[in-house]
Structure formats: C-alpha cells, structure tokens
Amino acid sequence: MTSITASNASSASSAGTGVLTGTPVVPGVALGPVVTVTSEVPADVVQAYEARDPASPDDALATYDEAVGVVADSLVARSSNASGAASEVLVATANLVKDKGLRKAVKKRLDAGEPLLGALRGAVEQFATLFTQMGGLMAERVTDLHDIERRLTARIVGAPEPGLSTPDEPSVLVAEDLAPADTAGLDPAFVVALVTEQGGPTSHTAIIARQLGIPCVVGVHGATGLAPGTRVLVDGATGAVETEVDEADAAERVRKDQEWRAHLDAWSGPAATKDGTTVKVMANVADGASAEKAVAYPVEGVGLFRTELCFLDSSEEPSVEEQSEVYAAVLRPFADGRTVVVRTLDAGSDKPIAYATPKGEENPALGIRGLRLSFDNPGLLDRQIEGIALAAEKTGSSPWVMAPMVATVEEAETFAGRVRKHGLTVGVMVEIPSAALLAEQILEVVDFMSIGTNDLTQYSMAADRMSAGLAHLTDPWQPAVLRLIAMTAAAGKKHGKPVGVCGEAAADPALATVLVGMGITSLSMAPNAVRAVGAQLGATSDEACTRAAEVALAASDPHEARAAVRAVLDA
C-alpha cells in the first residue's frame, strides 16, 4: 500500500513562474520528483461508506477495534525500523490510537445512535478541544489526534492509509505540513528535501529536518499545487523551490553543494574570516551531558548554558551545593581555559519551573520571567550565583555569568553588582528591544552582551516565537531585528567589549557573515551547526562580511535581505 503518489513523468510546474519561495530552514541543494503526502481520505469513498452504514453499535465498535489494532500495529512496526526520537514518536502515536479514553468516547456516541465515522470525528474533536485547553505539550498532540483520525477512517472505509510511506526513488517530499508520525519515519536516502506549505522555522517538520540534515523550506505558498512527479530543485539556503528545472544546470548545483558539504565535514576550527579576523564559534548547552557531547566539536567554549533546563522537573529549589554540582558538570569539560557563559534562570513563559515561576499569569511571555524573578525574590538569584561561583572554584574555571530578559540599565547594574561580588565576569542578554536601544549605556556597567535573537525577534515583531502562522514575522532576517542587532554590535565596538549572538540566528551560515560584518565577536549555536558556520566564515573576506551586513540592513524584507546577501557571498 502506498499513499505517496509519484510518477516518473516530468510535468510542467503548476506554479507558472518557475520558482516558489518560502522560509529556508536547512541549507542544502537537492533535486528530485515531487511526492506528496496524502493527508485526506478520498471524500467519495467516505461518502459511499456513510451511505451504507448504519451497523449496530456493537458491530460498529468491533469495526473500530479492528481498525485500531491494524493502525497501531503498523505504527509499531515502523517504530522498530526507526531509532531514537523518531521511534519514540511512532510508539507514542500508536499508544494514542489505542487510548482507552478515546474508545470510551467513541462507544458512548455509538450507543447514543451516532454512525461510526461521526462518532470517531466527534470523539477526536472532544479530545482535541481538551488538549488545546490544557496547552503546552498536550496542545501539540492535537496534530497527532487528527492524524490518527485520518488513519482510522481510512482503515474503516477501506482506503489506503494516509500519510507517508517510503518513495521508491530519491524524492522531494511536499506536504501541507507533516504529522509527527510522518516526519519520524523519514529516510534521508529517499527523501532528499522537504517542502511544506505551512509551518515556520520552529515547526515540527523543521526540527526533524534539522536533525536529519535534510534540506528544508517551509511556508512555501502554492507548494501543494505542484503535480506529483514534477522535478524540482530545492535550495534550503535561499528558500527557492524551482519548478522549471534545467537538468544539467541542476545536477551541477547539486554536485557543488555536495562538495561544499564534504568540505564542511572537514572543518576543524578555530573560526576566522578569510582574512583571519577571529570569531569565537561556541556551543549552546543544556546540562552536563550535552556539554560532554559539545566538547567533541570544534568549539571555543560554551556561549549559552541554559541553566533553567536543568531544573524543569524540580519541585523544590536545589541547595547551593546541589546547584554547584549541576554547573560544575558543564564547566568541567571546558576547564582547559575555554570560556563558558552561564545564563542565570530564564524560568517562565515556555519554560516554567515549579519553584520559581509565578502561577496564573495572563501573559507569561511578557510577565515575570528571567531576571524579573529576582525582583521579588532576590535570594533565588543570589543562591544561583553562589552555586555558579562554587562550581567555578571546584573546577578551577572562570565562567562568565549573564542575565536573561534585561530591559533597563538599572537592572543590568544591579545584576552586575551581585555577580562581581564573586569576582566573576558579568554580562546581560539582549532579548528585549529596549536593551538593544540602550546598549551603549548598558555596556558601561557590564563586561559583555549576548544577543538572544529568538526572543529579540519575538518581542520586536510582537509575534509569538512558537506560532506557525506568524513564521514570516518571527524571522531574524527581519530588517527591524537586524537594525537592533547592528545597534548593539556598534555599541560593543565603541566600548571595546564583546557582543555575541546566541539565538538560532547564529546557526545560519549566511546570517553569520552579516553578524560578523556588523561587529559581532562570537556566535553560539547547537553544536551540529558549527561546521557550516565556521566553513562559511572561512570562505568569506572581511570586506564581504561588511558588504553582507550593509545589503541586509538596506533590504526591506527578509526575502530581499537573504537574496542580497546570497549575491554578495556568491560573488
């Protein structure tokens, strides 16, 4: 049974213009025929089934149970061919199919006289509403619920199971958006690129594509209109999906890209531009285990240790001694003289911590999170700084300490006083536009700044960083965000103090050249991104970095900025 439709025939693009564009997520160039994920069960088959239903409630429940068994078994079988997170996603979806609560809700509706498909639809809606109200991770499972509804419906009416099965030749997968169960089963040998109509850089599709290293473009308007089998060239660096492909030219571009990727694998640091201007390329880590992994990469230290991630499951504040052990586990692998930047608790909003985050805030992203936790509870911050100082002593290292969510000069000054009492280097994050606007004054009272582009973008554009529907706004290439970064970098140059970037923007090789051109001195990112960034900087002259910054700042939108920078880098 295959639910992917691909034909070998090369058909004309349905786009007409020859190029569709979206938000680039994972760089890389790939060529292949379009395969589409069938997400809907054919309406005529459903109607025909509904016309011949009604079965008795007991018979209908037996049909439901049979469908549950088959769909769950198929997901479990796929999970045994997958590994890690992918396998876990498939098992979790299989468990949701077999959920007793869902069965009970279906049965209740059947007993009340509803036909089977209506009962299934109603029960799924009931759970989807509940999950949405619960918010957070439960809300994210609504996609899984709708996915299993389609799979069960298909089985009940006798249609092929919707979703993704492995194509028989290397193909470009095009979808509205991908269900977690679909992305989990992706085989990079057969799916050479991902293109989705919906979703943003933080969508599930984007995260899995990054993990697997599959070139990916999201938010491509018109993508699902492409006829299956159309040969397309996907450029995950520019966001272009070319639908009128010159085969020879495309093959040459793919070859060059593969050559470049092989070059990336060989990059071993330290980072510098082609002219030798040094840039610190560093790792973002979450705990001791991730620090142990990061140290194997060519990084010059840790540019962001998100301490709150160590305490997400703690119901009570750990003692200073306990905290020092947690921090020492991150400092130790880098205690050979490399810098580790420890960020104090950024609890709140999307990362609530039981013992620190206030309950029941109307709007937690704009509420008491990050440094603001210390306004009413200064002891919480002081004990954390003490724990960091103790860890420094235990490991013989000199961590830098920075505060998240700083808005004013006074906040920066108070924080600096607390950290300097322990003889440590102190800095603040630039995540709130006011901190960028006040960078010159703030740098008078701290030793360094680190720009958190994820939140800086969210707060500059007033767009929730998790909202797929606002992905075009939560893009660090937005000119307003670039100007705030440039302003902060200029303040750093004026004071002769380091200004780094530790948000996702640092992991984008083209954007990295822009940031360095503005005067950013360090870039901190997920370790698997360092080679691409380091290699790009090594291939770019100082003059090209400066020019890249100029053209990006002069652009009026992210698309124009990316294209202008690409032209500078290609030249």
Parallel/antiparallel/unpaired status of strands 23-26 and 29-37: unpaired
Q: How far is the CB of 501 from ligand PEP (least distance, A)?
A: 8
Q: Mark residues 444-483: x for contact with Mg ion by CB under 5 A, - for none.
A: --------x--x----------------------------
Q: What is residue 449's DSSP assignment?
A: E
Nearer to ligand PEP, 153 or 454 (CB): 454
* Greatest C-alpha distance within the chain: 79
Q: How far is the CB of 305 from ligand PEP (least distance, A)?
A: 10
The one catalytic residue in 216, 310, 502, 545 is 502
Rounded Cα–Cα distance for residues 449 and 264 (Å): 29
Amino acid at 552: A
Amino acid at 472: H
Q: Which does 502 bind (CB under 5 to 8 A by kind): ligand PEP, Mg ion, none?
A: ligand PEP
Rounded Cα–Cα distance for residues 17 and 222 (Å): 11
Whose CB is nearest to Mg ion?
455
Q: Which stretch binds Mg ion (CB under 5 A): 151-159, 380-388, 425-433, 540-548?
A: 425-433
Is residue 454 at the binding interface for ligand PEP, with CB under 6 A as the rule? yes
Is residue 333 reached through a cis peptide bond, with omega within 30 degrees of 0 on the bond before it?
Answer: no
Distance of CA 111 to the CA centre of its chain: 44
Nearer to ligand PEP, 89 or 523 (CB): 523
Rounded Cα–Cα distance for residues 534 and 331 (Å): 23
Q: How far is the CB of 23 from ligand PEP (least distance, A)?
A: 17
**Which pairs count as long-range contacts for 408-417, CB under 8 Å and 24+ apart, including other chains?**
408/434, 408/438, 409/438, 409/441, 409/442, 409/444, 409/445, 411/371, 412/442, 412/445, 412/446, 413/445, 415/371, 415/374, 415/381, 415/446, 416/445, 416/446
Nearer to ligand PEP, 155 or 372 (CB): 372
The beta strands (E) that lie in 65-165 are given as none
Q: Which does 306 bind (CB under 5 to 8 A by kind): ligand PEP, Mg ion, none?
A: ligand PEP
Q: How far is the CB of 272 from ligand PEP (least distance, A)?
A: 24
Amino acid at 4: I
Is residue 202 at the binding interface for ligand PEP, with CB under 6 A as the rule? no
Q: How far is the CB of 455 from ligand PEP (least distance, A)?
A: 3
Is residue 479 reached through a cis peptide bond, with omega within 30 degrees of 0 on the bond before it?
Answer: no
Binding residue count for Mg ion, defined by CB under 5 A: 3
Rounded Cα–Cα distance for residues 265 and 532 (Å): 8
Residues in contact with 462: Cβ distance below 8 Å, sequence separation at least 6, in sequence order: none
Active site residue 204: yes
Q: Which does 26 bind (CB under 5 to 8 A by kind): Mg ion, ligand PEP, none?
A: none
Q: How far is the CB of 466 from ligand PEP (least distance, A)?
A: 11
Parallel/antiparallel/unpaired status of strands 23-26 and 216-218: antiparallel
Q: Which two tokens mark 17?
A: 């213009």
Of 162, 100, 107, 105, the residue nearest 129 (C-alpha): 105
Q: Which stretch binds ligand PEP (CB under 6 A): 78-86, 141-149, 295-303, 453-461?
A: 453-461
Active site residue 472: no
Amino acid at 136: G
Q: How far is the CB of 451 from ligand PEP (least distance, A)?
A: 7
SS3 category, 508: coil
Nearer to ligand PEP, 149 or 455 (CB): 455
**Between residue 242 and residue 281, which ones bind ligand PEP under the rule CB under 6 A?**
none
Q: How far is the CB of 431 from Mg ion (least distance, A)?
A: 5
Of 316, 341, 338, the residue nearest 327 (C-alpha): 341
Q: Which stretch binds ligand PEP (CB under 6 A): 95-103, 164-172, 451-459, 533-541?
A: 451-459
Q: Which does 511 bind (CB under 5 to 8 A by kind): ligand PEP, Mg ion, none?
A: none
Q: Which stretch binds ligand PEP (CB under 6 A): 8-16, 132-140, 145-153, 450-458?
A: 450-458
Of 483, 492, 479, 485, the residue nearest 446 (C-alpha): 492
Is residue 455 at the binding interface for ligand PEP, with CB under 6 A as the rule? yes
Rounded Cα–Cα distance for residues 31 and 170 (Å): 8
Q: Which of 452, 492, 500, 534 binds ligand PEP (CB under 6 A)?
A: 452
Q: Which of 300, 346, 411, 475 binds ligand PEP (CB under 6 A)?
A: 346
Of 22, 503, 467, 3, the residue nearest 215 (C-alpha): 22
Q: Which two tokens mark 319?
A: 């003692």
Nearer to ligand PEP, 288 or 452 (CB): 452
Nearer to ligand PEP, 239 or 503 (CB): 503
Q: State which H helix or E strand residue 461 sits in.
A: helix 453-461
Q: Which of 147, 161, 431, 475 binds ligand PEP (CB under 6 A)?
A: 431
The one catalytic residue in 204, 310, 495, 559 is 204
Residues in contact with 164: Cβ distance below 8 Å, sequence separation at least 6, in sequence order: 3, 4, 37, 173, 178, 182, 185, 186
Q: Mark residues 284-313: x for contact with Mg ion by CB under 5 A, - for none.
A: ------------------------------
Nearer to ligand PEP, 27 or 503 (CB): 503
Q: Which of 200, 503, 517, 534 binds ligand PEP (CB under 6 A)?
A: 503
Is residue 508 at the binding interface for ligand PEP, with CB under 6 A as the rule? no
Q: How far is the CB of 346 from Mg ion (least distance, A)?
A: 6
Of 428, 381, 377, the residue nearest 407 (C-alpha): 428
Is residue 310 at the binding interface for ligand PEP, with CB under 6 A as the rule? no
Q: Which stretch binds ligand PEP (CB under 6 A): 95-103, 194-202, 353-361, 447-455?
A: 447-455
Tell me the β-bridge partners of 281: 523
**Between residue 467 and residue 496, which ones bind ligand PEP under the rule CB under 6 A?**
none
Rounded Cα–Cα distance for residues 420 and 400 (Å): 10
Question: Where along the sequence are the contacts to Mg ion (CB under 5 A)?
Answer: 431, 452, 455
Question: Where along the sequence are the contacts to ligand PEP (CB under 6 A)?
Answer: 304, 306, 346, 431, 452-455, 502-503
State the catalytic residues. Answer: 204, 502
